[in-house]
Structure 1
Amino acid sequence: MQIKEATEQFDVIIVGSGAGGGMATKILSEAGLNIAVIEAGPFFDPADPKTRTQLKWPYESPRRGASSSRPFGDFDMAYGGWDIEGEPYTHKGGTKFDWFRSRMLGGRTNHWGRISLRFGPKDFKRGSIDGLGEDWPISYEDVKPYYDKVDKLIGVFGSKENLPNDPDGFFLPAPKPRLHELYYIKAARKANIPVYPSRLSILTKRINNDRGACFYCGQCSRSCSVYADFSSGSCLIFPAQKSGGQIRLYTDSMVREVVTDPSGKATGVVFINKNDRKEYKLNAKVIVLAASACSTARILLNSKSKVHRDGLGNSSGLVGKYLHDSTGTSRAAFVPELMNRKRYNEDGVGGMHVYTPWWLDNKKLNFPRGYHLEIWGGLWMPSYGIGFGANGLNKFIGEQVGGYGNRLRDDIKKFYGAVMGVSMRGESVPMEDNYCEIDPDTVDEWGIPVLRFHYNWTKYEKLQAKHSHEIFEEIFDSMGAQLLGNKPNSESDYGLDAPGRIIHEVGTTRMGNDPKKSVTNKYQQLHDADNVFIVDAGPFVSQADKNPTWTILALSWRTCDYIISELKKQNIS
């Protein structure tokens, strides 16, 4: 196919507009660099009334808000999902990995839970602590200044608790616990399990003139029309444009490969415009990949040349290797004391107001890495049923209700808000044998070879899940709740969600000091091409039991400062 080459020379091309790409856009454009941002999905602004779903009622959807093409429902702001028509992926060896992609400006940051946790000092040195995997080539102290900057720029609520591996930051006031969370606090503390205010990137207090404060509609997954929650477009890209940054957006553009010259240096990228289905090439001095851990690995593996025969940056053979996702499993319960509760607006923020960080010593347990606990429940919109796990209430409802019409409706209301649940999100052990690679026999509708996944949970993740269910039972027993569903067992891997289902995948382009054992250096710069950088979660050496977004943002900012410095020194030309 004929490739149309742009005449304009950019300083930097950024592939992807999520957390890492958005931060790179802001920092590099504000340094005066001419930026091209390439996004695989359409333009999106949550304030645009044409696409806004915030504050819409269930009856405004043909499916009453239930799932259609969007995996989390009609109103959720995720264009994409685990399965996208025309963009398949495959599996190897009978293993399973569900790959979530969000095709829109801002990517997954438009619908995520906004849980914004720093990695702690131990999280960067797990290899030395338990002998599994590797240490990061950087420490918490290297990243701390950038965590601080991210806190102040974007805003995060929470409370200072002086926990050694859950570092404090610069916090906005945390919202008060809701009723189901008060029940959790009482029961957890009775079981000697600590509880603290959550740390979410939602503005409970206004911090600048560009963004409003949260008005507690509980719909952050729809992306906030007043920009009170963090989304990459709202909080990074739009402000960078407003401040005069030289930013050219290429939306609906699927990157195929990074192009290199005869010496192996990157010169630009080739992408397919989804609207006219033609191929285009952009040129730049620096390429920043922020397409997500797996998408970036796919681009690199498809970027083959005489110098980079196995793919760009893959001289170590490790591109795509050490893929890992957070672990996750949940349990719901019916709380009799919450029956017949009063109805009032307790929506709050779109997520938990309290949580439990990892509190135990793994040396005393039979698994090496920890997890945190997330709490959910309350007076959700009735379109979602009378609560999570509503089907499990049949045995209770059947004993107490009957008839039809208003009588049945009134009886069912007795249980509204009486279901709550706890989820664990934990750290898995990075394994070289968990990976993504190019499928030699399958392409997507744009003609680009797709990824093939190979992934298995180890015994450590299964034992971690088993332990979490014991904790769930202890908490619910302390509040006199009745567990819904059957307790998971070894045959179901103790209820572990399939790899990829938590949407925290990291590790496909891991950083390190040795080019033979890593893909990037400590500044997320390819060992094999010094003008290519990766600012998504691919360079993560390990995941920690925390959500990765805050660390993606901090490391992206750190990398951008390094890029600016290297350009000034003319070390990158």
Structure 2
Amino acid sequence: MQIKESTQEYDAIIVGSGAGGGMATKILSEAGLNIAVIEAGPFFDPANPEQRTQLKWPWESPRRGAGTTRAFGDFDAAYGGWEIEGEPYTHKNGTKFDWFRSRMLGGRTNHWGRISLRFGPLDFKRKSVDGLGDDWPISYEDVKPYYDKVDKLIGIFGTKENIPNEPDGFFLPPPKPRLHELYYIKGARKANVPVIPARLSILTKRINEERGVCFYCGQCSRSCSVYADFSSGSCLIFPAQKSGGQITLYNNSMVREVVVNDSGKATGVIFINKEDRKEYQLNAKVIVLAASACSTARILLNSKSKVHKDGLGNSSGLVGKYLHDSTGAGRMVFIPELMNRKTYNEDGVGGMHVYTPWWGNDKKLDFPRGYHIEIWGGMGMPAYGFGFNPNDFNKFIGKNVGGYGNQLRDDVKRFYGSVLGVAGRGESVPMESNYCEIDPNVVDEWGIPVLRFNYHWSDYERNQAKHMHETFEEILGNVGELIGEKPGKDSDYGLEAPGRIIHEVGTTRMGDNPKTSVTNKYQQLHDVDNVFIVDAGPFVSQADKNPTWTILALSWRTCDYIVEQLKKQNI
């Protein structure tokens, strides 16, 4: 039996503590608002000795680092994964959509790749270019001031390149390319494919007294104990608390629905406390949803009332529709020249030092949207299942590799650091037929109806993946021996399943017309003026860039608007 406890009043309730929720917490609290932040997972601070996994050896894990409790291994800073016990989701029509959730303060920002790319002018107006989907109701110029603010507040390394659709920002010095990246640069230039320094939100230079500088341990996926990389908790929420913000954290709290009054205006939220399994309600003047694109859609669809019979903000019937994720495909190459390398520390930052931005905006291709290329390799510390497959090397050297004991150990040393990998990350075309909805027959362990997914790649994405592999073959063929066979049509040219890249966006798309969108250009629900969405749900399209920097910029923009509207007593 659940008991609804007494309510409490706040100026704003923020659901979710990732990129969008963390930025909202900082901006709204520093404007003087009394804030409640509701997070579905526990409190997390990478500097806490009891939670810190940075600089621990793989053998310090009971499972030698295997991913039995976390999707990317015991030491990865992601409490969750694509599957969470007691929190299922379902599929229909043969869908293979994988939904990643990170249940912890800061959410996915604790373990992401820190690839921090601005959307460019074309990315906000793709329909005007290729006739597909819709243009955003805002332009790059509307978001640019907030990109600038995010650069300066959080810190990002890179270089000014003057590439039209890859906007430059305010950059810290980038790290130098490592040896495997120099080989990639060599191969890419032979193929006439551009390579520039990566743009990651990792501090290579001190920007304030609260955060340290990267010391090149290469373990950003564990979240940084000196706060040198960007995570929402360490870079937004903790500083907001230290500056005196009125912030109350509700951890391990699973939001079920937004509550409305008789006129349909939002008054608060109801959540289940995971520790005592009781139901609670908090009230506020403003509700800010930042639970992730799919989780926010789930909350809205479960928030049914007499006024909002199909769910909150869903008069258009589009909540959950136009779901899309980045495309993904990858390849590896063996570089014989890198066998028997001298062992030395070249860890660098926890990610790539160089990357390839999309170079085909002016080319005539059989797919409409582009992709960038990410690079990995080198001599970082081996982790559990680090990928040494003897069969990959037998054909290259004419003898069996691996085995047991000394032979295996010697061969690992001979070949370690000789593999270079690339991954394409591309833009898919938003389609109304790709969506998430409420499953009428399944609830999670908290009694909340779960999401059901319907999602299929189109020929646009398949042709893009085909082009990725053609590019990979040319670049990598210039530097070594390709590993494995190039995937063909029968495997969608190696396309990862939707959701695997963890860039899902678009479920509460923004627009000027309430009949064809869920929020306005300030990410405010058309139907309810005191509810705002600051995760990636309002994205009209994805671009070939990672979404985090745009989530942060738009959240800041929305929060400035909220403060302005509260002062005018419009909400």
Check whether TM > 0.5. yes
TM-score (normalised: structure 1): 0.98
CA RMSD between the two structures: 1.3
Q: How many Å separate the matches in 2 of 1:390 and 1:174?
A: 35
| 1:55-454 equivalent positions in 2, closer than 5 A | 55-361=55-361, 363-384=363-384, 387=387, 392-396=392-396, 399=399, 401=401, 404-454=404-454
TM-score (normalised: structure 2): 0.98
Question: What is the Cα deviation at residue 33 of structure 1?
Answer: 0.2
Of stretches 229-238 and 393-402 in structure 1, the one that deviates more from structure 2 is 393-402
Identity %: 82
Q: Does 1:28 align with 2:24?
A: no
What code does the residue aligned with 2:219 have? Answer: Q
Name the CA shift for 1:324/1:512 in 2 (closer, same or farther; >3 Å): same
Paired position in structure 2 for 1:495: 494
Query: The residue matched to 2:383 in structure 1 has which SS?
Result: helix
Query: The residue matched to 1:561 in structure 2 has which SS?
Result: helix
Q: How many Å separate the matches in 2 of 1:132 and 1:362?
A: 17
Q: How many Å separate the matches in 1 of 2:242 and 2:519?
A: 33
Q: Deviations over 1:277-308 (max 9, x none)?
A: 00000000000000000000000000000000
What code does the residue aligned with 1:238 have? Answer: F
Paired position in structure 2 for 1:485: 484
Question: What is the Cα deviation at residue 14 of structure 1?
Answer: 0.1
Question: What is the Cα deviation at residue 99 of structure 1?
Answer: 0.2
Contact 1:388 1:421 in 2 (8 A): no
Question: What is the Cα deviation at residue 412 of structure 1?
Answer: 3.2
What code does the residue aligned with 1:152 have? Answer: K
Contact 1:321 1:434 in 2 (8 A): yes
Question: What is the Cα deviation at residue 6 of structure 1?
Answer: 3.8
Gaps of 5+ in 1: none
Paired position in structure 1 for 2:10: 10
Paired position in structure 1 for 2:532: 533
Query: The residue matched to 1:555 in structure 2 has which SS?
Result: helix
Displacement over 6 Å in runs of 4+: none
Q: How many Å separate the matches in 2 of 1:8 and 1:393?
A: 63
What code does the residue aligned with 1:502 have? Answer: I
Q: How many Å separate the matches in 2 of 1:392 and 1:98?
A: 28
Paired position in structure 1 for 2:542: 543
Contact 2:254 2:273 in 1 (8 A): yes
Q: How many Å separate the matches in 2 of 1:447 and 1:173?
A: 50
Contact 2:2 2:279 in 1 (8 A): yes
Q: How many Å separate the matches in 2 of 1:541 and 1:137?
A: 9
Q: How many Å separate the matches in 2 of 1:46 and 1:455?
A: 35
Question: What is the Cα deviation at residue 407 of structure 1?
Answer: 4.3
Gaps of 5+ in 2: none
Question: What is the Cα deviation at residue 8 of structure 1?
Answer: 2.8
Q: Deviations over 1:512-546 (max 9, x none)?
A: 00000000000000000000000000000000000
Q: How many Å separate the matches in 1 of 2:402 and 2:265?
A: 73
Paired position in structure 2 for 1:47: 47
Question: What is the Cα deviation at residue 408 of structure 1?
Answer: 4.2
Q: Deviations over 1:57-87 (max 9, x none)?
A: 0110122222111111111110000000000
Contact 2:7 2:280 in 1 (8 A): no
Q: Deviations over 1:294-335 (max 9, x none)?
A: 000000000000000000000000000000000000001111
| 1:447-462 equivalent positions in 2, closer than 5 A | 447-462=447-462
Q: Deviations over 1:222-260 (max 9, x none)?
A: 000000000000000000000000000000000000000
Of stretches 64-73 and 122-131 in structure 1, the one that deviates more from structure 2 is 64-73
What code does the residue aligned with 1:487 have? Answer: K
Contact 2:394 2:401 in 1 (8 A): no
Question: What is the Cα deviation at residue 392 of structure 1?
Answer: 2.5
Paired position in structure 2 for 1:522: 521
Task: Give the aligned length.
Answer: 571
Q: How many Å separate the matches in 2 of 1:84 and 1:279?
A: 21
Q: How many Å separate the matches in 2 of 1:305 and 1:404?
A: 64
Q: How many Å separate the matches in 2 of 1:412 and 1:143?
A: 48
What code does the residue aligned with 1:475 have? Answer: I
Query: The residue matched to 2:4 in structure 1 has which SS?
Result: strand
What code does the residue aligned with 1:567 have? Answer: L
What code does the residue aligned with 1:313 have? Answer: G
Q: How many Å separate the matches in 2 of 1:403 and 1:321?
A: 51
Name the CA shift for 1:83/1:350 in 2 (closer, same or farther; >3 Å): same
Question: What is the Cα deviation at residue 420 of structure 1?
Answer: 1.1
